[in-house]
Amino acid sequence: MFSKFSSFYEKARNKEIVAGLSLISVAVILNLIFGYFAMIFAFYLSFFKWDYIGQMQFVGLKNFEIVIRDLIRGFHGAPYLLSPFYTGLKNILIYTAIVVPIQTFLAIVLAAFANQKIRGQQFFKVSYFLPATTSSVIVALIFIWLFMKNGFINYALAHIIPGFQPIDWINDRNYLLLAIAMVAIWGTSGHFMVSFLAAMQAIPREIYEAAMLDGAGPIRRFFFITIPMLRPMIVYVVVMGLIGALQMFDLAWVMAGANGGPGGAGYTVALDIYNEAFTRIRPGVAAAKSWFLFAIIFTTTYLFQKKYGRAMR
Amino acid sequence: MAEVKLINVWKKFGEVVAVQDMNLHIKDGEFMILLGPSGCGKTTTLRMIAGLEEPTKGQIYVGDKLVADPEKGVFVPPKDRDIAMVFQSYALYPHMTVYDNIAFPLKLRKVPKQEIDKRVREVAEMLGLTELLKRKPRELSGGQRQRVALGRAIVRKPQVFLMDEPLSNLDAKLRVKMRAELKKLQRQLGVTTIYVTHDQVEAMTMGDRIAVINQGVLQQVGTPDEVYNKPANVFVGGFIGSPAMNFLDASIVEDERGVWVDFGEFRLKLLEDQAEVLRELNYIGKEVIFGIRPEDLYDAMFAQVKIPGENMVRAVVDIVENLGSERIVHLRVGNITFVGAFHAESMVKEGQEVDVVFDMKKVHIFDKKTEKAIF
Amino acid sequence: MVKVSMKYKVTINIVAWMIGILLLIPLFGLVMASIRPFSEVVSGWWILKNAHFTLENYIDVLDRGFARNILNSIIIAGFATILPLLVSGMAAYGFTSFSFPVKTMLFLTLVAIQVVPQQAVIIPLLKLFRDLGLYNHMYGIILVHSAFALPWTIFFLRNFFMSIPKDYEEAAKIDGLGSVGIYFRIILPIALPAIISVAVVQFIFAWQDLFFAITLLRPENWPASAGITKFVSRYNPNWGQLTAAGVLTILVPLLVYVALQKYYMKGVSGGIKG
């Protein structure tokens, strides 16, 4: 057998194949285990009831039934305690709808500023990205404390808006999700800004000059040249943003607590899955719910990419 | 009247002087070439006319309007100068179709949609782009893109066209074809055109006048004939014409027979009118630079007037380059080397000797220090 | 440099600086609060009159075992950066310079997995780790981080490698270098900015992860991102200590970014052209 292999190996073409395959082998194996195998096992698990210790009990579609009942209950207005998944889903969708567009837009604007050749350009490049180097946990903490009833934000707003009553952002169910969204935007825009900055710098200067000669002022240039030419990057940022936003866990856990804060205002799908797996000890249900989450992420990014992205490969 | 005037224009980048005291007057409807080697300041000059750079000193007029005068604080932005520019890289908007690219300047000026459509199609027709209107730049060949860039410039009907080496990205054959097309187009439209290039062939074939620039200084402005036949200095003489003009060090001597150019190893007799000029300007006995173009050197077999010792010299052939239409011959007399462009049927062979005839009417003498032409 | 009007320049300057300062206020606040005694923090850290500055918060925090947390963060994030870099560097090279059957398909499967959320895989991973004895072990979490880094790092590095002109590789081949030599002496040096970008991003990402930390490790092995929660309590936390721990947690990634920022920018630009 070995002699067969070595004669196979003689041909240079086959040498290349062996080399290529071996180079990617580790990556592929790891990917298979931690990605595909895990997903498949999770899918398998979603048909069982288990408590981590004993045997797994086959329950068919019961776990999925639990999820769907939850959704129906929630849709008909049940309180959050009876329909946590629905609450989490509703919240995360609202959250994503707020965060992704704003963070993308802000990242473009920041990149545009950082791209200007003005004094302190270095300062911008560093300071705009700095928030992104912080952990989401820290970010969450900073903001809890800025958002406290007697915190800085209320203090500043009181000075700017006349007659402003301090909002208890953390404990007021109407504002908690918004506060979390603001925190997320602060923390991630810088990261995407760098991608946009790089893309902007790849736009040849002469195109802007041609536009200048054709009669376009700075704002027109931004909307007619910069943004259209950033399109592939915009698609990438939105897709990555969607993936990240839909599975947001850290901020909610820190700012709203494992139970999602007042009335579950800060409850997210990721939080629910965590509770399902570790608090309520129903890993089967957790697996089912995580497949739901996966389906949502996959569908939204696929649809978006299909509609707006041209071949990125 | 779409004239362009540069008056005492300087451009400095920090300590570096890119353009030095440039005075240039481009006439209405003229095809003016800015010619020079890389880094000589021709593109900077063009960009100052466009408004993409501001002059450090001096005034620039486009049409009758003063568009730049730093001392008076005048600076008219590019979009208000009524000029159009074709960039070396074409700078087409990659995300727009050909139609949109050409329509863009009109759209920005809020020209009504029907008018835009009419003008875009007119221009497309003129440049042979009608079939390509729906394509995007990345689907086009180099020549096609260049025409789109032209279209975008023409459609605005500006007073002045500026072109920055538009042909340099095309392959040789296409370049030759486009040279003629551009020239024809310019005649047809009658728009004042300022064209930057480092290729002297382009300059000679296309320009009404050529402004030769070197290291930020304007060397000479003149028609192709003028800069070819009456170069103002060594630089112009050497830059224009291919193969390049021969430059040899020599001294002027006079004896009872007349005035001679003495190279040490041999000498040549100057014509009477040339002698007069040199006498008058006191060059007798002085060192000069002697210039003659290779095409003004002849294989004695093909020359009509040949006087040994006066306009003919025996030289050794070092190398022969056969171009088909002529032979480029590298010649040597003692330590002095020069190049001749001989008749195609000349039979010279490497290593042999040949009698070389100088067409003394076409001789140029330059002052050794200033390098300026005496004649 | 193209000429722009004075008005434009001034407006842009003002706005840009304002944004920069606005973005930095939270971090500034964090530092301010951490260096003041607790009493001042509660009343309002932005009040600068009669401010006292102290390092007592930091000392308290480190005393309470936070130093161990920081150390754990360094170990986890460090290895979770080096390991995936090694693997994805090799893989990206494989995808770039070699052709073999099903190459495109394998590449797509690798990249497509990015869509999978962390929560979906956590239970299977827990079971796997339990069976392999990797639970509560540094190796376990490092491996997970590395696996999750692979899709995007391979995608990014492959893009960058592809933008390196093939001429270099071919010249090296003629000079006698084999594939290994080409990889280490041609490709890697040229791709250094991209590699550093990937390293910076992955390091920061691994450093600030919370989910895997709390699910795959027990509190005694927690990195800083999770360890900081011991200073959190819903009622009257010690803000001084909390913010001090916060500053310590941000410090390392921040320094990493600032030090490597130049390469980072260059690296990201190169990845675009792919």
Residue B153: closest CA among chain A residues belongs to which residue? Answer: A214
Put simply, whether A274 touches C (Cβ < 8 Å) is yes
Contact B52 C2 (CB under 8 A): yes
| Contact between chains at B85 and A213 (C-beta distance less than 8 A) | yes
What is the per-residue pLDDT across C131-166, written as a single tens digit (0 to 9) for each? 888 888 888 899 999 989 998 899 888 888 888 888
CA distance B248 to B264: 11
Mean pLDDT computed over every residue of chain C: 80
Q: Encoding tokens for residue A138?
A: 């820290």
Residues A125 and A238 in one domain: yes
Residue A84 forms part of a structural domain: yes
A156 and A269 together in one domain: yes
Does the structure show a pLDDT above 60 at C45? no
Q: Is residue A199 part of a domain?
A: yes
Number of compact structural domains in chain A: 2
Q: By residue range, what is the domain housing residue A257?
A: 64-308
- For residue A298, give the CATH number of its domain: 1.10.3720.10
Q: Say how far apart CA C184 and CA C162 lie, in whole Å.
A: 16
Which of C90, C120, C246 comes nearest A290 by C-beta? C120
Flag the least confident range among B296-305, C24-33, C221-230.
C24-33
Euclidean distance between CA atoms B5 and B8, whole angstroms: 10
For an interface test with B, the pick among A213, A222, A224 (most B C-beta atoms closer than 10 Å) comes out as: A213
Share of chain C above pLDDT 90, in %: 7
pLDDT band at C1 (very low <50, low <70, confident <90, very high): very low
Residue C5 forms contact with B (CB below 8 Å): yes
CA separation, residue A290 to residues A42, A273, A274, A293, A295 (Å): 8, 7, 10, 5, 8
In this structure, the answer to whether residues A130 and A263 fall within a common structural domain is: yes
Determine the Cα angle at A205 with ends A199 and A208, to 5°: 100
Q: Residues 190 to 229 of C: which have CB under 8 A from any A CB? A: 201, 204, 207-208, 210-211, 215, 224-226, 228-229
> Which tokens hold the place of C215?
């699910």
Distance from CA of A42 to the nearest CA of C (A): 6
| Residue A50 belongs to some domain of the structure | no
Indicate if A33 and A161 belong to the same structural domain.
no
Which residue of chain A is at minimal alpha-carbon distance from B155? A214
Q: CB-based contact (8 Å) between B152 and chain A?
A: yes
**A14 and A72: one domain?**
no
| Judgement on whether residues A138 and A201 belong to the same structural domain of the protein | yes
Q: How far apart are CA A118 and CA A116, in angstroms?
A: 6
Asked if A279 and A195 sit in the same domain, the reply is yes
pLDDT value for B223: 95
Parts of chain A with a pLDDT under 70: 1-12, 118-120, 149-151, 162-164, 166-167, 169-171, 260, 263, 310-313
Q: Residue C205's closest CA among C273, C125, C118, C129?
A: C118
Question: What residue ranges define each of the domains in chain B, with the CATH number in brackets?
Answer: 4-239 (3.40.50.300), 246-367 (2.40.50.140)
Residue C274 pLDDT > 60: no
- Band (pLDDT 50/70/90 cuts) for residue C273 is very low
> Which DSSP symbol is given to B110?
T
Q: CB distance from C268 to chain A under 8 Å?
A: yes
Report, in angstroms and rounded to the nearest whole number, the Rg of chain C calculated over CA atoms. Answer: 23
- By the CB < 8 Å criterion, does B52 face chain C? yes
For chain A positions 201-240, those within 8 Å of chain C (CB to CB) are 201-202, 205, 208-209, 212, 218, 233
CA distance B356 to B362: 15
- Of the two residues C77 and C7, the one the predictor is more confident about is C77
In this structure, the answer to whether residues A17 and A162 fall within a common structural domain is no
Which residue of chain B comes nearest to A207, CA vs CA? B91
Q: What is the pLDDT of residue A312?
A: 44
Question: C263 vs B253, which has greater pLDDT?
Answer: B253
The domains of chain C, with CATH numbers, are 56-272 (1.10.3720.10)
ipTM over 0.85: no
Quote the pTM value.
0.79
Identify the pLDDT of residue A127: 78
Q: How confident is the model at residue A2, as a pLDDT? A: 61
Contact B95, A234 (CB under 8 A): no
Query: What pLDDT score was predicted for residue C270?
Result: 55
Q: Which positions in chain A touch C93 (Cβ < 8 Å)?
A: 23
Across the interface, of B79, B88, B94, the residue whose CB is closest to A229 is B94
Residues lower than pLDDT 70 in chain B: 1
